[in-house]
Structure 1
């Protein structure tokens, strides 16, 4: 599919095609450092782990940071100099990262709802004082549901889709076609491979997918920007497969039917909607996000519009000023204990 996109996007420019291929080769050949050891596990539930980033001596409420089920969780701790988790700990907060783990085919029936009720809610219940939830991407969608089902001290959403109709008719049609072609094989496997999900992301913005490799071909290989690009691409191209039921719910119930945005989503029989929240909530929305468009936001009353991309708002040059610092300030406005 990448080669098909490359041919389409560079049909009139052999020079651009050559540059993109050179960038792809440079990315493939780029040196990788040693993988960092994961932070220690505080609690576990099935395959999931709650990893402790808390600062020594920090008091106050736990902050559970919930990544998407899609792609690995370490985008929130990508490099030491671009780690939201470590920075929050440096500010005196008690962050924990939810690592969803890798599911096997026998977990084929584990849908999004089950991830919430069987994994997320039991982990929240481990804390004697209700924690604060910070959700990124689909993790925010799930965190909002959890906040409707149990007591939490606050909810922060970062680039989290809710009104899936906001993707627009064309994009939703592309993703429906992708799922129609992939569904039989995924059902047989019991899993949805990351390649299926990645191709869906590529379809949202094929021009940018090619352009970023063209740009990478021009970067100095030993520059900080190049190292960041490689780390981000490794993250974007990695990730565990999803249980079949999760993929089906995302593609059919969320993207196609927009059950969250139409207030038709129920978890454990409970209607899930932003209006049902009883805790303080804040939302960071990117106005130029191609993965989670601004039109898909939940629109909680405290909405902060920013000018960074889907990944840039977490690890980009402007992430600290636009998201990290406002998030920390908001966390400091919440009660430190019950």
Structure 2
């Protein structure tokens, strides 16, 4: 999409010079201003009155501008492709190993990051690897909470457990969300509590917050607190039409899902790309300007490697998420059910915290804030960060990590 946008610039030039009448409202004024400036510049250089507003500019006057547009297009395209190539050849590799596995079932593993402190089970999304919360030596929320890692100052006191869902195998490809929540997640929660010696706080990130909520409602005896990090709830709160268009994107992949039993990673990435089709162009253009030997470049590569390490989604779960959550807004309407039991936030009795990143472009803040409204007595924070930035950005420690640690330690 980024490349197509750049290469479309020369194609649009004749339309500009022909006073094209069908510019999109968001660019119409810009096009009119540009034509006006070109007419005025030509008139000044020729010491003549400007051409009429609806008259095309002479070729000799328009040609230098067309050449300038072409040069700028090539410069931007070169910067984008340079950034992409430098990423592909960057030497950084993830500089920490996964924490020890203390329980597993099928493709799913339970990792224990710390040995002492208040036990907390982190539940990530099904479509991304959970190590975004344990990304690198310098960018690990979990190790900081445990007082470990390369920048542990101020952390500690928490004993984090991380659920890594893994890549669906033959068994998981037949799973529904009920199988995930009422089955595997509950068993992982039981294993965590057995190892910790009592109830734990559940922290769900993005889609993981919905899964964790379903588990907390089914087994309240095992849960002492609940935290939702950028978790959608009312999928139609921001723009119902956009959510329904997202749901419709599953239709072209239906034959593939029937054949494979899952929604492939490339299809999942395509769905995310629709949220910002120019994101790759923008971020790799920025990367091209970085010092490749800097911590900043290492952090970029660490995050990009995680983004490209996606996980397939079992077909039944993909349909339930896209058709049910996005298309029909079953969560926001109170109609989402796990193992025939409704998932109703109003029924949660433990202390709860909802963190709504104000600059989230993946989960609209209005969608996540709706969960804070539905949970009785929930504390709601709205840090000025993005969906991923809330756990790995430079401002994450001050705005999310430290306050989250204090909230977790306050609980009984």
> Shorter-chain-normalised TM-score: which range?
over 0.9
Match of 2:405 among 328, 332, 338: 328
1:222 match: secondary structure: coil
Matched, 1:270 2:341: yes
2:75 match: secondary structure: helix
| Residue 102 of structure 1, CA deviation | 1.4
Q: Unmatched 5+ residue regions in structure 2?
A: 10-72, 148-155
Question: Residue by residue, what CA displacement relative to the aligned partner does 1:183-240 show, whole Å, maximum 9, x if unpaired?
Answer: 2112211111111111111110123332111111111111111111111111111122
Question: Residue by residue, what CA displacement relative to the aligned partner does 1:102-146 show, whole Å, maximum 9, x if unpaired?
Answer: 112453321222111111111112214111101111011111111
CA distance in 2, matches of 1:9, 1:236: 25
Contact kept? 1:105, 1:243, Cα under 8 Å: no
Residue equivalent to 2:331: 260
2:356 match: secondary structure: strand
Contact kept? 1:102, 1:241, Cα under 8 Å: yes
**TM-score if structure 1 supplies the norm length?**
0.93
Residue equivalent to 2:190: 125
Q: Which has the larger radius of gyration?
A: 2
CA distance in 2, matches of 1:176, 1:98: 27
Residue equivalent to 2:247: 176
Question: Residue by residue, what CA displacement relative to the aligned partner does 1:161-186 show, whole Å, maximum 9, x if unpaired?
Answer: 11111352443244234211112112
- Pick closer, same or farther for the CA change 1:31–1:9 going to 2, 3 Å: same
Superposition map of 1:186-225 within 5 A = 186-225=257-296
CA distance in 1, matches of 2:179, 2:302: 31
| Residue 46 of structure 1, CA deviation | 2.4
Contact kept? 1:166, 1:294, Cα under 8 Å: no
Question: Residue by residue, what CA displacement relative to the aligned partner does 1:267-287 show, whole Å, maximum 9, x if unpaired?
Answer: 122211221111100011011
Contact kept? 1:288, 1:307, Cα under 8 Å: yes
Residue equivalent to 1:72: 129
2:331 match: secondary structure: coil
Matched, 1:8 2:85: no
Superposition map of 1:1-338 within 5 A = 4-8=1-5, 11-12=8-9, 13-33=73-93, 36-55=96-115, 58-60=116-118, 62-90=119-147, 91-126=156-191, 127=193, 128-151=197-220, 152-166=223-237, 168-297=239-368, 298-299=371-372, 300=375, 301-335=378-412
CA distance in 1, matches of 2:173, 2:117: 39
CA distance in 2, matches of 1:166, 1:222: 43
Q: Unmatched 5+ residue regions in structure 1?
A: none
Query: Runs of 4+ in structure 1 displaced over 3 angstroms?
Result: none
CA distance in 1, matches of 2:136, 2:237: 32
Contact kept? 1:9, 1:207, Cα under 8 Å: no
| Residue 9 of structure 1, CA deviation | 5.9
Question: Residue by residue, what CA displacement relative to the aligned partner does 1:69-112 show, whole Å, maximum 9, x if unpaired?
Answer: 11111100011111011011111211000011111245332122
Contact kept? 1:40, 1:51, Cα under 8 Å: yes
Residue equivalent to 2:23: none
Contact kept? 2:207, 2:232, Cα under 8 Å: yes
2:3 match: secondary structure: helix
CA distance in 2, matches of 1:242, 1:86: 28
2:144 match: secondary structure: helix
RMSD: 1.7
CA distance in 1, matches of 2:388, 2:326: 20
